[in-house]
Amino acid sequence: MEFVGIRPENTQVLSYQTLPTPSGNCAIIFRSYWALFEQFQRCAHDKAAFRLMPGSEKALQWFMGDVIELFNHGTRPSFPSLFRYGTFDELIKRESDFADITRVVDLLTRGYRLQNLTESLSRQIRNTSNVLWLGMPEHTKNMEFDKVVIADDFFSQTNMVKKEALVSSVYTAISRVRSELYVPEDFDTWVKQLSSN
């Protein structure tokens, strides 16, 4: 499969079974904050050369800060997608379709606190060349990357997202790549299903 953009050169499209972390100027773009947090935490733990996109850093800090405070103190969240949850059990019940939430809950149960989040955030490198960027589609404005990985969480939650919003997010992610685009193995199947609806 080949993706041809507006530039004279072609973009190579590669499929994956397991989320890759290519070297060089690369971005992994996620659809959910649960998946973004899990990869962020993995990179921080592994001391990888990574950085959150500026908008994603603020949003993830807010999102996870609310999750941690709800879990530990029952403090009602203010993050837009979480504020309707009055208890952590209610959040788990309503957000359980996100595969990554189970691993996040496990981390919280083992004592993950706000200071752990702050410590993980401090492990980002501030250099902007040859770095693995992590973020959400809406935070990629005015950014381009040699390589872009569309995380598989885009397609695992399609029933929870409006078709137009999902297509827009995928388009945004695809439009940020210069040379290599990595898509989940079942990307072609998803596109065919989408076009048949």
Token pair 């500026």 is found at: 54
Q: Determine the longest span between alpha carbons in the chain, in angstroms.
A: 55
Distance CA 142, CA 14 (A): 24
Residues 6+ apart with CB under 8 A from 82: 63, 66, 67, 70, 91
pLDDT for residue 77? 97
Residue 195, both tokens: 């076009």
pLDDT for residue 50? 95
| Burial readout 32-51 (b: 16 or more C-beta within 10 A, e: otherwise) | bbbbbbbbbbbbbeeebebb
pLDDT for residue 83? 93
According to DSSP, the residues that pair with 95 across neighbouring strands are none
* Nearest Cα residue to 52 out of 153, 119, 136, 113: 136
Distance CA 11, CA 35 (A): 26
Residue 105, both tokens: 């809950």
CA 176 to chain centre: 15
pLDDT for residue 172? 83
| One-letter amino acid for residue 92 of the chain | I
pLDDT tens digits, the chain, 197 residues: what are they? 444 445 546 788 899 989 888 888 899 999 899 999 999 999 999 999 999 999 999 999 999 999 999 999 999 999 999 999 999 999 999 888 777 888 999 999 999 999 999 999 999 998 777 899 999 999 998 899 999 999 988 777 555 566 777 778 888 888 888 889 999 888 887 777 776 66
Distance CA 28, CA 121 (A): 17
In which element (H, E) is residue 145 found? strand 145-150
Predicted TM-score (pTM) of the model is 0.87
